[in-house]
Every structure is written in structure tokens, then in C-alpha cells.
Amino acid sequence: MARHNKRFRSLFAIACGAAWLLESGRARAYEEQASLDAALGYALVVDDEVSAQGASVELGASWGLSDTYVARANVGYASLVEETYAGRAVQHLGRLRVEALYLLDVLEVVPFLGLGASLTNSPDDSAQLPVRVGGHLVFGVDYLVSRSWIVGLDVRAALLFEGNGQMLNATDVALRVSRMFETF
């Protein structure tokens, strides 16, 4: 009996050692990774009187803070057409955004949500400030094509504050491609 017990302990120790040596690294779909991002999308800005809509483009980067949190920053441009009584007017908007994202699951399809801050230029010549400051919610889903490539869909709902106390509602939908890089 003691001999079987000793053999069992030896086999158990060997099995534990083999499992430890053969253990694969933990899944790190975002953690300890950075990305470079490019996105094309549709933007809509609405105030009390008029709305403007059009195409947008963005370049950005992100950093995986943990397996569930990501920090992202991007710069972008939107060319928006505004319908007025005098005809059509085109607004050229530049923007800078920073976001904190919470990943709901880290598998092949990754839904996420987050909060962000926005800074855009004000195309209105009568604006008191040449920039608009705002905050936004972001919802989206990423599809992990491989360890190095991600295709994502981002939806943002923002409030932008004008210098005159007026608020604008902005909605943005973008298709994003990200190239992931190991950071450590």
C-alpha cells in the first residue's frame, strides 16, 4: 500500500511538473498590446435648427491596460453637408478624441463600451470659441481576425458644447481596422 502511495505521489509530481512546463501563456487579446487604427464612417451633427451629415475618417492608437480595459486616442476629419434655407453648406470638422473602453468578453467577437472626451473645431464663424468640447459614449464590437488584425464597428453618441451655451448632438458610426502589436 505504501509502495502504491509513493508511486502515485511520484506520478502526480511528474504530471504537475509537465503541466507547468507545457502550460500555454494566458490569453491576452488586448492586454500588453498596442494598436494602430484606421476607420471610415458616417457622422451626423444636430442642433436645434439644422443638421449636418457626411463621411468621416480617423487614425488612432490604443493601448491594452488589462484584459478588460483599453485606452484609445484618435484624430479624425469629417466633411459634413448642412442643408440650409440658402442651399447646401459644407462643414469641415477636425476632431481629437480620447476614450476608456471596457471589454465585455475576450473571445473571437468582443463587444465593448466606454466613455470618452472630444475636442472638435467649430466651423461657425460666430462661435465665441474656435473649439467645441464634449463627451461621448462609445459602443462597439471587435472581430479578432488574427492575433495581429482586428476589424471593428464603433458607434458613438456625443454631446458637444458651444461657447454660447448651446449643445449639439453628434452621432458617429465607423468601420475600423486595427493592427495589433506586442508591447512587452
The model's pLDDT over 80-124, given as tens digits with 9 standing for 90+, comes to 888 777 777 888 889 999 999 999 876 789 999 999 999 988 766
pLDDT of residue 130: 78
- Percent of the chain residues topping a pLDDT of 90: 44
Task: Decide if 11 is inside a domain.
Answer: no
10 pLDDT tier (thresholds 50, 70, 90): low
- Determine, yes or no, domain membership for 21: no
32: left (phi over 0), alpha (psi -120 to 50) or beta: left
**Confidence class for position 182, pLDDT limits 50, 70, 90:** confident
C-alpha cell at 181: 502589436
Question: Of 166 and 138, which is predicted with more confidence?
Answer: 138
What is the average pLDDT across 143-167?
A: 88
pTM of the model: 0.76
Q: Is 89 helix (H, G, I), strand (E, B) or coil?
A: strand
Domain assignment present for residue 12? The answer is no
CATH number, domain of 43, equals 2.40.160.20
- The mean pLDDT value for 19-43 works out to 69
Note whether residue 7 is domain-resident: no
| 139 lies in some domain | yes
Average pLDDT over residues 22-43: 72
Tell me if 27 is assigned to some domain.
no
Residue 6 predicted with pLDDT over 90:
no
- Number of domains comprising the chain: 1
Distance CA 114, CA 142 (A): 14
Note down the domain range covering 168: 33-182
pLDDT of residue 83: 75
Residue 45, in any domain of the structure: yes
Inform me whether the pLDDT recorded for 17 exceeds 70.
no
Question: Within a domain: residue 28?
Answer: no
160 within 8 A of 172, measured Cβ to Cβ: no
